[in-house]
Structure 1
Amino acid sequence: MELIWNGIVQAFKLIFHLDSELMNILWVTIRVSGTATLVSLLLGVPLGALLGTWRFPGRSAALSIIHTGMGAPPVVVGLFVMIMLWRSGPLGGLNFLYTPWAMILAQTIIAFPIITGFSMAAVAQIDPQLRQQLLGLGASRIQALRAVVQEARLPLLTAIMAGFGGAISEVGAVMMVGGNIKGETRVLTTATVLESGKGEFGTAIALSVILLLLVFGVIVGLTVLQQRNRIT
């Protein structure tokens, strides 16, 4: 218990003293996970809404792929991205390997099916008659889909929470494609693993506490937004 308490105290010391290395790790963490979540949101919500409202050939196969992606082992994602970005790989010319861009790509692949799946479930809860009525009134399919997404905006916040949580908590994939390079690709999760491996458990606990505080802050903000919109 003393080790845990000392780690918590150290976490707040690092925060209040604005430790430069911690601030860099925190910034890289927010930039990588935030970008991955945003990209996944922009791609996943429309696809989830489409899968949740329309029946078309190949829909079952698409659902199977999305559901598999929601439970895909991150280390497999990391290996796939690493092979794609390797110098002799299809995307080797981009020189993204061991950069934040590679980490964003890996986290996007992890978060995208999560947001898509939750979005599909959120849209499926909306009365199907709404879309039919809009189409009957002359709305295009895109306009009807947009209206359904607007109606499901509160449950969609849960999709954002789940996607962000899946992205920011990832370790294996980002370590494989990012390399955990100090000042460049080191994030809170990989820094925690590094410090644990060195036997610096106090620092590892401190980093874990900071990661929990970051996630807690984002989730609380989204939850408050969700509840306010529900009341109004």
Structure 2
Amino acid sequence: MNYLLEAFYEAIHLIFSLDPEVLNIAATSVYVSAIAIVFASVTAVPLGFIVGISQFYGRGTLITLLNTSMAIPTVVIGLLGYALISRQGLLGDWNLLFTPQAMMLGQYILATPMIMALTVSATQGVDPRVRKTAIVLGANSFQSAMTILSEARFALMAAIISGFGRIIGEVGASMMLGGNIKGYTRNLATAIALETSKGEFGFGLALGLILLAIALFINMLLRFLQQKV
């Protein structure tokens, strides 16, 4: 019990003393995940919306694959990404391996199918009469699509937040693609794993508390937006 209390006190001290290493790790984590989720959202929301409102051959199979991809282990994404950007890979000449950009790529691949699948679900959850009513009232295709998006906006916000939650706490892809380099690619999740394995439980706990605080803030932001929009 004393061990846990001492670790907790150390964690609180590190956080409130604004330890430079802790701040750098947290900033790297937020920066990488924020950029990745922006690009993932820009890609996944329109594609998911199109799949959700369209009817085409193989649509059911595509949706099944999207839903399945949400459960792909992060280390598998890391392995595929490594094969893609390593020196022998297709993008080897870009020198992306062990950089923040490589981590963004891995997190983008993780988040995109998840947001897309949840966008499809959100779009399908809108009452079909909404689109029909908009068309009857004279709306064109674009306006009726915007009406559906407006009706599904809360679910779409939740989809993006869920995607962010999946990537900011992942370890496998970030470790394999970023290399966990101190001061460069070390983020909250990889640092927690490293510091705990070294026996620095207090430091790892401090990072864990920050990660939980970020998750709480994001969910509070979602709640605020849902009340205001």
Which bin holds the TM-score, normalised by the shorter protein?
over 0.9
Out of 1-10 and 160-169, give the one that drifted further: 1-10
Query: Who is 1:63 aligned against?
Result: 63
Q: 2:196 — aligned with what?
A: 196
Equivalent AA in structure 2 for residue 180 of structure 1: N
Cα drift, residue 106 of structure 1: 0.5
Structure 1, residues 103-153: CA drift from partner, whole Å, max 9, x if none? 011111111111111111111111112223334555443432222112211
In the aligned structure 1, how far is the partner of 2:108 from the partner of 2:21? 25
What percentage of aligned pairs have identical amino acids?
41
Distance in 1 between residues matched to 2:212 and 2:197, nearest whole Å: 20
8 Å Cα contact 1:4-1:205 kept in structure 2:
no
**Could you say which residue in structure 1 is the equivalent of 2:146?**
146
Unaligned runs of at least 5 residues, structure 2? none
Aligned residue pairs, count: 229
* Within-5 A mapping of 1:78-93: 78-93=78-93
Aligned to 1:104: 104
Corresponding residue for residue 226 of structure 2:
226
Q: In the alignment, which residue of structure 2 is the partner of 1:75? A: 75
- Relative to structure 1, the CA distance from residue 210 to residue 52 in structure 2 (aligned partners, 3 Å threshold; closer, same or farther) is same
Partner Cα separation in structure 1 for residue 36 and residue 6 of structure 2: 33
How far apart are 1:51 and its partner, in Å? 1.8
Structure 1, unpaired ranges of 5+: none
Q: Does 1:170 align with 2:170?
A: yes
Deviations 1:17-69 (A, max 9, x none): 22111111111100111111111111111122122221112212321221121
Coordinate RMSD, CA, aligned: 1.6
> Which amino acid is the alignment partner of residue 172 of structure 2?
G
Q: Contact conserved, 1:77 with 1:173, CA < 8 A, in 2?
A: yes
Match of 1:145, as an amino acid? Answer: A
State the SS of the aligned residue for 1:56: coil
